[in-house]
Amino acid sequence: MKRRSFLLALGALPVAFMAAGAASGAERKILVACFSATGTTKGVASTIARTLGGDLYEIAPAQPYTAADLDWHDKASRSSLEMADAGARPAIAGALPDMARYGTVFIGYPIWWGIAPRIVQTFVERCDLKGKTVIPFCTSGGSAFAGSADLLIKAAPQAVWKDGRRLNAGASASGIASWAEELGIAR
């Protein structure tokens, strides 16, 4: 290589390093997205974000849920109607997160009738999760995590889905840190 072209190539190096750095930075960055109607899941999501150094994004419904909307004893309540309708996609308020900034995405939700609320399907369908590592988690009144994320996984088959889990309302930072270690997610 001639001296001049060698020097030119040398000049391009920092740019190449910067590009690589930006990519690996995005790969490491963690987003913790959650929907929470009464605050339990949001509490757990905040602990995950704080423990792992991630950004918290709340999936906020354009039309907030009232107590009457959440009445599962009432077959005609908004939540009962939405969960009975596989095509229901409640709208999300505000902007979606800039997914290009993240490599790992936790998605949290309360179990509603055994599965994730429909608004979480809205979120998964509207965000580009291709190639992201996605970890679902839930809170519930007792139901296990089981197949609660199956419809989400179906909606984003090009994401790398990890096994999800149910977390208790008071999930500890140390418990979350060891779960993250099992998942191979370093802080």
Ligand X SMILES: Cc1cc2nc3c(=O)[nH]c(=O)nc-3n(C[C@H](O)[C@H](O)[C@H](O)COP(=O)(O)O)c2cc1C
At which residue do the structure tokens 């039309």 appear? 63
At which residue do the structure tokens 């991630």 appear? 54
Give whichever of 40 and 121 is closer to ligand X, judged by the CB atom. 40
CB atoms within 10 A of CB 114: 12
Closest approach of Cβ 86 to ligand X, in Å?
A: 16
Closest approach of Cβ 15 to ligand X, in Å?
A: 45
Closest approach of Cβ 49 to ligand X, in Å?
A: 15
For the chain, state the CA radius of gyration.
Answer: 20
Give whichever of 103 and 164 is closer to ligand X, judged by the CB atom. 164
**Do 158 and 186 form a contact (C-beta atoms < 8 A)?**
no
Q: Which amino acid is at 139?
A: T
Give whichever of 22 and 68 is closer to ligand X, judged by the CB atom. 68
Closest approach of Cβ 38 to ligand X, in Å?
A: 3
Q: How far apart are CA 35 and CA 53, in angstroms?
A: 19
Positions in the binding site for ligand X (CB under 6 A): 36-42, 70, 72, 79, 110-114, 139-143
Give whichever of 30 and 115 is closer to ligand X, judged by the CB atom. 115
Closest approach of Cβ 115 to ligand X, in Å?
A: 8
Angle at 74 between CA 60 and CA 59, to 5 degrees: 10
Give whichever of 81 and 177 is closer to ligand X, judged by the CB atom. 81
| Nearest C-alpha neighbor of 88 from the set 58, 119, 65 | 119
